[in-house]
Amino acid sequence: MEIIIQPTAEAATKIAARLVAGVIREKPAAVLGLATGSTPLRLYRELVALKLDWSRLTTFNLDEYVGISPQHPQSYHSFMWDNLFRHVNVSVKNVNIPDGLANNIPAFCESYERKIFSAGGIDLQLLGIGTDGHIGFNEQTSSLASRTRIKTLTPQTRKDNAHFFGSEEQVPHHVITLGIGTILESRHCLLLAFGKKKARAIAEAVEGPITSMNPASALQLHSKVTVCLDEEAASELKLQDYYRWVFDHKPGWQKI
């Protein structure tokens, strides 16, 4: 794992944006795995400002709430169109977001997996992390080999996401999420985390044992993971000084 610690979320996001832009410029028909939530908002603004060519890209979103329509203001469909897709020249037919209203959820999940495979697999998977270490909506004790499927949110995640909905009662209980096994098949994972409330989950994911009690720790099994953090999210890492030194002394050819 490459751990990049920056003084602020703005600075960490700028590095993440350079990395994403590099992938898009190098492979104009790349397949991007996209995330929602507060964490990637700044990144999407940066990417829009870079005026990249999205016309040949294919995107797959990580997750969606079950039982709410794409038009619902808190659906991840709405989130993605409001915060990114509407502002870039992405082709609607290349955008994939799980269907929270699918009649047959297992069949839908299988078809989503097949679609990722047919598109050639995900080149770059963007990830946030929950306060409990979830990635996508793979909650604690999710199988580290899991595939796209329905999950039930924990009370903590529903509490964490209540601010989007106005109240905890309105947060759906069920979601469709890419599995951890699916995420691990991406060629490169880019995990972003900002703020003190993510510090423990990040320390466990990066430096703790691999355990389904911190689903993000499964990323230790992946050969190419970049983690962009602000100081607060990095504050519980034991090897902070080492990660900083490594980043400051990267050889020129390896710089982002």
**Annotated catalytic residue, options 46, 64, 123, 134:** 134
Is residue 139 part of the annotated active site? The answer reads: yes
Sign for the CA dihedral angle at 25, 119, 81, 6 comes to: negative
Q: How far is 255 from 20, CA to CA, in rounded Å?
A: 13
CA-only gyration radius of the chain, Å = 17
Q: How far is 222 from 67, CA to CA, in rounded Å?
A: 33
**Annotated catalytic residue, options 46, 113, 123, 139:** 139
Is the CB of 58 or the CB of 161 nearer to ligand PGA? 161
Nearest approach, Cβ of residue 242 and ligand PGA (Å): 26
Nearest approach, Cβ of residue 91 and ligand PGA (Å): 26
**Contact call for residue 191 and ligand PGA (CB under 6 A):** no
Q: How far is 159 from 172, CA to CA, in rounded Å?
A: 11
Is the CB of 129 or the CB of 228 nearer to ligand PGA? 129
Nearest approach, Cβ of residue 4 and ligand PGA (Å): 17
Is the CB of 128 or the CB of 172 nearer to ligand PGA? 128
Q: What are the residue ranges of helices labelled H in the chain?
A: 9-26, 41-49, 76-83, 105-118, 155-160, 162-165, 180-184, 199-207, 231-234, 240-248
Is residue 160 part of the annotated active site? The answer reads: no
Measured CA distances, 2 to 192, 229, 250 (Å): 12, 11, 11
Q: How many CB atoms within 10 Å of residue 251?
A: 6
Is residue 132 part of the annotated active site? The answer reads: yes
- Restricted to residues 27-56, the positions that interact with ligand PGA (CB under 6 A) are 37-39
Q: Tokens representing 99?
A: 């269907």
Is the CB of 111 or the CB of 150 nearer to ligand PGA? 150
Which positions from 115 to 144 touch ligand PGA by CB under 6 A, shown as an x/- string?
-------------xxx---x----------
- Which positions are annotated as active-site residues? 63, 132, 134, 139
Positions in the binding site for ligand PGA (CB under 6 A): 37-39, 128-130, 134
